[in-house]
Structure 1
Amino acid sequence: MTRKVVLSVIHGPRWGGIHGIAELIAAPLQLAGVHMVIAVPDEFPDVDVTRLEVAGAEVRKLSLGRFRKSRNPFVVLTSLFGFFPTVLGLRRLIRKVDADVVQVNGLHHLHAAIAGKLSGVPVIWQFHSDQQPRWVRKLCLPLVRRWADAVMLAGEGLDRALGLAPDFHPEMSVFTTPVDTVRCSPDPDKRATARSQMNVTDEDIVIGAIGSKGPNKNHGELIALMRHFKGDDRRVKLRIFGPSEPAHLDWYMTQVTKPAEEAGLLADGTVAFHDQVKDVSVPINGFDIFCLPSRGEGSSLVLAEAMACEVPVVANAVGGIPKTVIDGENGFLNQTRSLPELIQHVEKLVDDAELRSTLGKQGRQFVLAHRSVESCAAATIGVCSRLTGATLPDENHRNEEPLRLNNTSER
């Protein structure tokens, strides 16, 4: 069997959706003759390195610089000074692992693309969300067009959210973020554990959110939502899980934590914040409603994981979310991204247990039909085959092809 090596560069210093995708597809790729090597920053936790290695990936730590949104001149200068050392480090790693393909994760992470082009290795550029500011898109998209040998989008609709024309790139396709539907499934034991840890009763209706504590996840909107429920007798609670973002600690305190405290939502246990958890299916099972009021997303792994656990979802209509949440059928879409519409959708679910159950079950059926690990792995396998000219003879994936966007995108 022809063996090909894909070097996937993930700049994030903490576990996130991209790592979760890699964890799920590493084994299927290996079966198809694609060995995944994942480059992570030096500060990436060893426990998460082990998690990826157990899944079948090879993990290499190195000094990975990244561009960060900050008004702090020191942070900006550190990003700039670390750019070329990162490119050189990635070039050395490309040679060391004998990479056949380099995978860039994120629109603005240019380092791996430059390293791949300088090394004469094909570059797959993956876009995972539409949260980047317009000026970043304007700066980076021409570079993607020039340097990428293939572009992969995490979910249908992301091309439109990013403003990409149908002919943006000749090798542009969609992959769906996969879900482990065995781990992420309705589980009464996990529900009991989670609700005990969250200090809520069976009578409470728990709205849950999971995501990094920064501006993009828009948790301040959830605090405003809870002000609406304060003082009524429906026993609505909010529990937010996720890691803190060092660059946004002050922002989160000012925009999210302090308003919750000033409204008396922390003192009475209506709102509580929790750290990141290894297995998100545990807190998800403890939720009655999952909310994702993000300013930008791709297709969102954690949203699909909530749906797989039969938890009804309410999400902003951003990025590829409208291709996952079918409004009124398997969840609710906040089309206007406004607080009044968010309140309207959540109130419907709070007041109707049967509706929560129906939307939850339909959400799981959607995920079972559209978010398989095999289809996501097949998308990567297909692109690697075309870029390297290799035949990757895995019978399980031979007929699986990514959705090609060129000449098929509806505008």
Structure 2
Amino acid sequence: MVRITDRTRITVRRARGPAPAPLPLAVTVPQAGAGAQLKHTFTLAGDGRAYLGPHTGDLSDAATYAAFRRAYDDLKRLTGIEPEILAHDLHPGYLSTQWALERPLRGSLSSTTTRTWPQSPRSTGCGAPSTASPTTAQGLGDDGTLWGGEILVADLSGYRRVGRFATAPLPGGDAAVRHPSRTALGHLLDAEALGTPRPSPGLVRRFTDLLDPAEVSAVRAMVTRRVNCPRASGAGRLFDTAAALLGLADAVGYEGEAAVRLEAAAGTTHAVPLAHKIMRLGGLWVYDSSSTVADLLERRASGEPVPHLAAAFHLTLAHATSGLVARAVEEGAPRTVCLGGGCFANGRLLVEVRRRLRAQGLRVLVGGEVPVGDGGISYGQAAVDSRPGREGEVSGHVPGHSGTGPGDP
């Protein structure tokens, strides 16, 4: 399944046609990537080739998990690749991680940045130092929080985190993904305090009055007590928040549905971006999304049409993302930027971000053969450097780079 946006091919799911054709990938020993939990794939790599396994979907389903294990054994037999190294997600709750840790291999790589730089398959595939901008949902980072919306300097041997989106709680964890209104409440009640005043109680009530009072009370208690409220910085959840606040999605039937509705509402409408702020915090550049959420509520209350606000939200995230990258490049990050993450299947966001990055004179790459979202994670994992002495955990740091790298213009 592919999408053509502004003459650019984006692979959403590698299915009939592209699969199972091998992709080039230079590895020193046969190895594999176990993939993530959602939109799951696995990858086998050896002899200069990588074979991306079939799209198996959500591993929490027993039949899907069984299909993954069968497909892995089948592809090993067909390709003759017997991995010596297996890279996997850091999250201990993912079945792909548990499966990987049970494999009788010589070593395994704990991919500390899955859904961050391994989700930028063009970054790892091109072999060039690059600035990865994965605007994605969520995944466990090396600091124990759920990462997403990251700006990283990365190559095949490691990464360095230089920017991120602000965090907010996910009330109920996965339940918040299925109910965007919960994600929106998390942002309104306890978004990361970065100096932006919270929306006024009156603006918040305009939203909460539309919801089930019992649900609002339960979520408020969870957030206040910080019970089952993991904090996340993913752009996917910010899309969910905007869709909920605009009345486009209260509950969804599939992951990404709220973002799809928001993109459809935006269409090609021209709009003025919402408020946004980038600040320095703890050695990182951070996008303060609270200013955006507050402005969205204010402009909605003033009567601005939903399509205008949906378009404004896309423009705002493009400004914030390109602004984070610009600051990273000013500090010496490579001028090749790899866009990865499910949000870049959104045509409006992709076009707006790429336009602004190119205006900065940067080279921009996006997955054309490997899925741009979670389906591409396993390919990135398999590309992790496996030179002797690296069979342990992948380093969270990459040596300092100059402003340019191999392949940069």
Please confirm whether the aligned pair reaches a TM-score higher than 0.5, indicating the same fold. Answer: no
TM-score range normalised by the length of the shorter chain: 0.3 to 0.5
TM-score, L = length of structure 1: 0.35
